[in-house]
Structure 1
Amino acid sequence: MTSDPARPFGRVLTAMVTPFAEDGSIDLAGAQELAAHLVDRQAHDGLVVLGTTGEAPTLSAGEQRAVLEAVLDAVGDRATVVAGVGTNDTAHTIENARRAEQVGAHGLLVVTPYYNKPPQAGLLRHFTAVADATDLPVMLYDIPPRSVVPIEVDTLARLAEHPRIVAVKDAKGDLGAVMHTLARTDLAYYSGEDMLNLPLLAVGGVGVVSVVGHLAGPRLAELVAAVESGDLVKARAVNESMLPLYTGVFRTQGVILTKAALRELGLPAGPVRPPLVDATPEQLAQLRADLADGGIHL
């Protein structure tokens, strides 16, 4: 686990899929195996569980608790385990946060409430209430493509005053806003959009919360290290090698193609749950070609 306050959750984290059995039930042993694989063989110093890529919206409260417990048991002594707890209801999010703290999570990922379209005052109240509810450090998740509402720079600056709001997972696609926020706050920025990993790191990000990390963790670690050392020539080369992976995994929902790739590699994944659907043979063939271009052969 990280002890660096500038990187409160580590450098390379993946938004981990939740493995299911073929009948759609939770595969807890598979979750432990996958978590250990990511930490021990894919150079991760952190994992985000129960995020969107973990299909958290389709898991019951009991399933969420069981998955978090299983991952903590598997890797909690050697990686930072961050629990996704965000919903579009403040009371429900606080319940999730308290449960995650009870189970032993090391931090919380709290997404902008989706669908409701709250004003900035509502975001400020929501995130503050969740941060007040536990003693865990909080990573805000700013993702307007899913939530519609961005967290504005002024709101982020006010949220940064809270002692437990320490980081942002950014998937806003607005590097100008990131730079303004970094200039005004000490929030640790993590790239939440794989295609923008390099530019976000280059303007001051401290790490990544990736999906492609399921497949290319060591290269992401190399990318972060190259930027940190100031070797942007190497960073660009590493990033370029991953472009086919970024493209390939996100031709449709990231979890769909990530699970397809993991299944082909013999790793725990299983099917996705409705309303998602598993990759078609045509999508799998395209994925094979994309990943091969990026040096990964299924």
Structure 2
Amino acid sequence: MFKGTYTALVTPFDKEGAVVKDQLSRIIEEQIAQGITGIVPMGSTGESPTMSHLEHAEVIKMVIEMTKGRTQVIAGTGSNATVEAISLTKQAKEMGADASLQVSPYYNKPNQEGLYRHFMTIADSVEIPLIIYNIPGRTGRNIEVETLLRLAEHPNIVGVKEASGDINQIFEIIRQAPEDFSVISGDDGLTVPLVLMGGHGVISVTSNIAPKTMGRLVEMALQGEVENAREEHYRLTPLFKALFCEINPTPIKAAMAYMGYMEPNYRLPLAPPAPANQALLEKTLKDYGFTNKML
């Protein structure tokens, strides 16, 4: 079972848009030193939609080589084309990834049967644990509870990253899913309620800059420390809000640049935060004591 705090990893770029390997290595070393459960490269936080398939595979390979088995690597290898998802997932398995994160097909908006067949075909084609990623705000299609429960019957489909924002749907998945099926939050702000109600952790954006803090928050919730988890949740809420003042990963990359871990470079069509949001972000980071060292 996948349980704990996983970082939805950013991808540092130089001004020309090339991956900066030494900055990526530094970020990963900090994550491991702060006790992160695992790292998730090439999700939306890693700007995967702007990366070629070759670059996609190269970043995953870099991350696996840099971690050296010291933490789990869940490789983002999803696509809205099933054959592409299979190809990327096979490459990740060959490189040594521990699991694959499979985003729901975007843009073409398949119906529930199409979603089911898409994920089942990948699961039948590659012998690696798959975590389904449900984020209808980006994909335009929600994976309904009934569909997900059907998918959970496949031995290779081991969990879901739930970012639907529908707390009732999330609770229903937790209630009905097999005991060994991981329900992981895809929304930092919903981590505590999800885990306290029986979920298993978070794939976090915030943990790029605060891996130890997010790890502590999840552990409190997993241990049933309700009052401590609630207090920490509310303490962190302004930070969560600031890091999502614009579309992810714009604010988190700006935050990491502010902290000195990378340059504030994005691949188009993403652009730096609006001045007011940059000011909000910097004020919030100062309020939390973030300078040039991960907490």
* TM norm structure 2: 0.94
- Residue matched to 1:283: 277
Q: Determine which of 115, 119, 130 is the counterpart of 1:123.
A: 115
CA distance in 2 between counterparts of 1:243 and 1:180 reads 25
TM-aligned CA deviation for residue 280 of structure 1: 4.0
1:146 to 138, 144, 154: 138
Contact 2:196/2:224 (8 A) holds in 1: no
- Is structure 2 residue 192 aligned with structure 1 residue 193? no
CA–CA distance in structure 2, aligned partners of residues 171 and 294 of structure 1: 26
Q: Which residue of structure 2 lines up, in the alignment, with residue 33 of structure 1?
A: 26
Counterpart check, 1:97 vs 2:95: no
Report SS of the residue matched to 1:12. Answer: strand
**1:143 touches 1:172 (CA, 8 Å); kept in 2?**
yes
| Alignment equivalent of 2:105, drawn from 113, 136, 141 | 113
- Partner residue of 2:50? 58
1:210 aligns with 204
Superposition deviation, residue 28 in structure 1: 2.1
In percent, how many aligned pairs have the same letter? Answer: 36
1:19 maps to 2:12: yes
Deviations 1:113-143 (CA, angstroms, capped at 9, x unpaired): 0111111000100001111121110100011
| Structure 2 letter corresponding to 1:116 | N
What do the CA deviations read for 1:229-288 (whole angstroms, capped 9, x no partner)?
Answer: 221100011111111110111000221111111111111354010010023443322101
Instruction: Give the paired residue count.
Output: 290
2:186–2:202 CA contact under 8 A, matched in 1: yes
Equivalent residue letter for 1:25: A
1:72 and 2:64 aligned: yes
Aligned-partner Cα distance in 2 for 1:29–1:155:
42
- Pairs within 5 Å for 1:206-285: 206-285=200-279
Name the stretch that deviates more: 67-76 or 244-253: 67-76
Distance 1:160 1:251, change over 3 A: same
Stretches of structure 2 that go unaligned for 5 or more consecutive residues are none
Q: Distance in 2 between matches of 1:104 and 1:20?
A: 24
Q: CA deviation at 1:106?
A: 1.0
Task: Specify the code of the residue in structure 2 equivalent to 1:274.
Answer: L
In the superposition, the TM-score normalised over structure 1's length comes to 0.93
Provide the rounded CA distance (Å) in 2 between the counterparts of 1:291 and 1:28: 25
What is the one-letter code of the residue matched to 1:222? R
**d(CA) in 2 for partners of 1:230 and 1:220?**
16
Instruction: Compute the displacement of 1:45 (Å).
Output: 1.4
> What root-mean-square deviation, in Å, do the aligned CA atoms of Structure 1 and Structure 2 show?
1.4
Aligned partner of 2:129 among 125, 137, 147: 137
1:133-182 Cα deviation digits (max 9, x unpaired): 21110100011111121111111111010001011101011222222222
